[in-house]
Amino acid sequence: MWKYVLKTLWRHRSRTLLTVSGSMVAMFVFCFVGAVQHGLDRLTSGAEADRNLIVFQENRFCPTSSRLPEDYARQIKKIDGVNEVMPIQVWTNNCRASLDIVVFNGASPEQVRATRPLKFQDGSWQVFYSRRDAAIVGKNVAKRRGLDVGDQFSIGDLSVHVAGIFSSEVPSEENLIYTGLEFLQYTRGVDAAGLVTQLEVSLADTADPDVVASEIDLRLRAGPVATKTRRKGAFQASTLSDLVDLIGFAHYLGYACIGLVLSLVATTTVMSVQDRIQEYAVLQTIGVRPLRTMRLVLAESILLCFAGGSIGTVIAMLTLATAGLAIGAEGATIAFRPSAELMVQSIVVSVFVGAIAGFAPAVQAATVPIATALQKE
């Protein structure tokens, strides 16, 4: 009886369209909240986050306040279980939370190529190697700032030549700009000759990250600057601690969106059943079983939620895919990226909410007393 269900919805098309649009907006917001949470999970979990270590100056937070001797890399390499150490100089235009944060990572071009899963969309490694002021730019930064290969990009005291634009399997990488280490160390305003912001340590498969981290801090304690070494995921979670709390609070916004859809569709379905109470009595009179009547009402409710949820989800996925949005703080960024998992989750939630919203009106329609309903004017 799908034709009957569709005709019923079309009969009150203004109410139907308003309900669908409300569900669409709510699920659009739900997808954005989910994208932020998924971005945080990707940043703080996974093999790289657990097997790599970040050595940072003790009791420092913003990258501009951490100043470690570059020579620490040589000492760390001598520790058992350490495969490689990459000194990184970080510069950011804003240490506070921002949707348009620009983060420069200065490192050896050879090490960047060896350790980062970068794929050039335009440009080449050769130019990055050959020019002292060359930089390779993540595609999200390039999109937000309107950058192309060959452009000169200036921000604060930094001015770089865009040698390439890259994408990455790691979404957060697409919000970074890589330059040579020495270029960033000797840039006016950074004043970090012989110093780096942090050291990224790659471990052997058999090494225990926590043991190696303790050994690094112990060995460097006699040096001029005390360090705090953590797994990369834990370091990024600590760096983004304020945002982590905010994202946790945003969960309630996602739940509120689900509650909004539930209330909206339930109200619409109740109104629809009350308007057609005599119609349901007639259906029972001609032999339609109560269970089938319930299915008719549930079908209307689920269809409303599914239509609104699907449209809102598709719009959210397209926006996430094309806008290149990210939020960051203290040099770490969370990328908003669409995913099949998020899309399926949103649509399943829409169908589930539609079923719950339509259950009570469906029972009402199926159990209406025939005689009483037919006597109503």
pLDDT tens, position by position, 294-331: 888 888 888 888 999 999 999 999 998 887 777 776 66
Report the DSSP beta bridge partners of residue 138.
Answer: 166
End-of-domain residue from the set 225, 253, 288: 225
Quick one: pLDDT at residue 376?
57
Report the DSSP beta bridge partners of residue 155.
Answer: 158
pLDDT tens, position by position, 34-90: 888 888 777 777 666 778 999 999 887 777 778 899 999 999 999 999 999 999 999
Residues of the chain with pLDDT under 50: none
Query: Within a domain: residue 49?
Result: no
Does residue 128 sit in the same domain as residue 253? no
Using alpha carbons only, what angle is made at residue 180 by residues 175 and 182, rounded to the nearest 5 degrees? 130
User: Domain count of the chain?
Assistant: 2
pTM, two decimal places:
0.78
Query: Within a domain: residue 26?
Result: yes
Query: Within a domain: residue 298?
Result: yes
End-of-domain residue from the set 225, 257, 282: 225
Quick one: pLDDT at residue 375?
62
Does residue 215 sit in the same domain as residue 249? no
Query: Within a domain: residue 203?
Result: yes
Query: Within a domain: residue 48?
Result: no
Query: Within a domain: residue 300?
Result: yes
- Convert 276-285 to b/e letters by CB count within 10 Å (16 or more is b): beeebbebbe
Does residue 73 sit in the same domain as residue 220? yes
Does residue 69 sit in the same domain as residue 171? yes
CA gap 46, 28 in Å, rounded: 27
CA gap 352, 346 in Å, rounded: 10
End-of-domain residue from the set 225, 252, 269: 225
Does residue 284 sit in the same domain as residue 356? yes
Give the domain extent around 157.
59-225
Does residue 246 sit in the same domain as residue 282? yes
Query: Within a domain: residue 96?
Result: yes
Does residue 188 sit in the same domain as residue 322? no
Does residue 69 sit in the same domain as residue 204? yes
What are the tokens at 189? 């305003």
Does residue 314 sit in the same domain as residue 347? yes
Does residue 186 sit in the same domain as residue 136? yes
Does residue 208 sit in the same domain as residue 76? yes
> Which contiguous run of DSSP H or E holds residue 64?
none
